[in-house]
Amino acid sequence: MMKYLTVLLVGMLPWFAGAALAQTYESEQQGDLTLQYTTPGSGGLVEAVVNDTKRQSIAHFSGDCGADAKVMLVIMDPGAVQTHYASGDPADLQADAVLQALGGVLERSCPQVQTLSVYLTHLPTQTPAVTLSRGSNWGMGQGVVAEVPRPQIRLSQLSNAIMLPEGIACNDPAEIIMDGTQPGRNAARYQVYRTAAKDGAFLHESLCPGTQELRFYPIDHPAGLVCAASDGACYLKATWNPDVARVVKPRPSSQAELVAQLPEMMSQLGESLTQWVVEPVGYAEDPALSAPTIRTAEEMIEVILSQDFTLIREQYSNYFRVFHNQFLFSYSERCSAQVEDPVVFNVTPMEETVFGDGSSTGPRQIGDTYQLTLDRKFEGPYIRYETANKAWLTSQVFTETVDLRASRGGGAGVTRVVGRVLSDKDDIDQFINQGCTAPDVQTVYQSLARIL
């Protein structure tokens, strides 16, 4: 019997939206919510995805059935995200409906589930933002607000500046505590701390004009750096750029004068990028940077050929699921005659455009239906992975966009993610082009079923 899949191309990404006739997977619509989940008798990994098409939020769980389910929550509404940054209250994410629905479908696939530990993709933390309980019908009102990083720079020396600027001692060098960074997956990168220090130096100049050196002490050290100073005093040193002319203005003499200057100060904040030079003091490169990574299809192929799958299983399982389906897709295009136990799908290409702010258009058909041939042993994982891949890649689009904004790079995260996916497809195509029966091609192909 012919089976059917729908290919959802998000800005040209080959994501498969569902399989209506697959025995192990079900899909339903509840108002603005799209629910996709494994049936109780399917066995293997439990998969559950709920997409709130109105608010553009996605709640996703993939894993073994247990009492606690670790759920990833992707919030696409910039207003809700900013409100949550300020309050720390998960209720401000307006994700009650999508999380309650996810809890409901998980009960069907995993009868023993009792709690949902919800992790937010827009916060760089390993702590759940909220834990929901089955006894409370997965309601947000029973959640416990966790301590999570806040996207702010607290300049301790300036904490009372607006109220009493004349009471601030203008020390030189000035020592300033840096608490928290801009949000995003790569928030802990040194470049984000450096930008924050430049902004802090610019604002400090308005209170203490002419300061020669500022020392910013991060509470959490930037990723990629470790504190190697014997006294543990590692900091970012900010000094004036000698290539930029410096006009030292008089210090504000009153709160009213400072407040009057604020609009002009904020409009000139971007100048801090060229006015100040920031360098790390006491830091050394983190040895973990030399650890192996898997960032591209070429690197994934190299690791698979080594037949040591530990790194993939422990750190790159999400990316492997994307690679798994991309490889099988390309293999079907070139080597369908080599498939030993074929299952043939009719595939309908659909397109959905995702914009930089997370909003999107509705899906629309963009091509003729064609056939995809898989070995039967890959059928179940392929279908499960497609839904997981859509949620994970969507979260990558969002976090890339946030990172670009945090570093003032501009642009849309979807462009970066699409570029990586298309580059991976080219690498996979070239690898398979050496021949369907080539030893390396067959090693990777046969290994796909044994990795996860």
| Distances from the Cα of 210 to the Cα of 25, 30, 217, 385, angstroms | 66, 62, 20, 58
pLDDT digits (tens, 9 = 90+) for 373-396: 999 999 888 988 887 887 788 777
Token couple for 438: 């080539």
pLDDT score, position 439: 95
Higher per-residue pLDDT: 366 or 338: 338
Average pLDDT across the chain, whole number: 75
- 415: which residues sit within 8 A by CB, 6+ positions away? 11
pLDDT score, position 375: 92
Q: What is the DSSP string of 312-376?
A: HHHH-HHHHHHHHHHHHHHHHHHHGGG-SSEEEEEEEEEEE-B-TTS-BPPPEE-S--EEEEEEH
In this prediction, residue 181 has a pLDDT band, given cuts at 50, 70 and 90, of very low
Taking 90 as the threshold, does the pLDDT of residue 361 lie above it?
no
pLDDT score, position 43: 52
* Share above pLDDT 70 across residues of the chain, in percent, rounded to a whole number: 69
pLDDT score, position 402: 52
Least confident of 198-212, 262-276, 299-313, 348-362: 348-362
Residue 144 DSSP symbol: -
Taking 90 as the threshold, does the pLDDT of residue 320 lie above it?
yes
pLDDT score, position 347: 76
* Share above pLDDT 90 across residues of the chain, in percent, rounded to a whole number: 21
pLDDT score, position 51: 86
In this prediction, residue 11 has a pLDDT band, given cuts at 50, 70 and 90, of very low
Higher per-residue pLDDT: 175 or 2: 175
In this prediction, residue 350 has a pLDDT band, given cuts at 50, 70 and 90, of low
Taking 50 as the threshold, does the pLDDT of residue 160 lie above it?
no
| Distances from the Cα of 422 to the Cα of 42, 319, 414, angstroms | 32, 14, 12
In this prediction, residue 101 has a pLDDT band, given cuts at 50, 70 and 90, of very high
Partnered with residue 37 across adjacent β-strands are 26, 48
pLDDT digits (tens, 9 = 90+) for 256-287: 777 677 677 767 766 767 889 999 999 887 76
pLDDT digits (tens, 9 = 90+) for 287-298: 666 667 898 999
| Among candidate residues 56, 128, 124, the one with its CA nearest the CA of residue 90 | 128
| Distances from the Cα of 103 to the Cα of 70, 85, 123, 132, 341, angstroms | 11, 25, 22, 9, 37
Taking 60 as the threshold, does the pLDDT of residue 234 lie above it?
yes
Taking 90 as the threshold, does the pLDDT of residue 305 lie above it?
yes
| Angstrom distance (rounded) from CA 214 to CA 158 | 13
In this prediction, residue 149 has a pLDDT band, given cuts at 50, 70 and 90, of very low
What is the C-alpha radius of gyration for the chain, rounded to an integer number of angstroms? 26
Higher per-residue pLDDT: 141 or 286: 286
Most confident stretch, 64-68, 264-268, 331-335: 331-335
In this prediction, residue 433 has a pLDDT band, given cuts at 50, 70 and 90, of very high
- Average of per-residue pLDDT across 320-328: 94
Taking phi over 0 as left and psi of -120 to 50 as alpha, with beta for the rest, 352 belongs to beta
Number of residues in the chain = 452
pLDDT score, position 16: 33
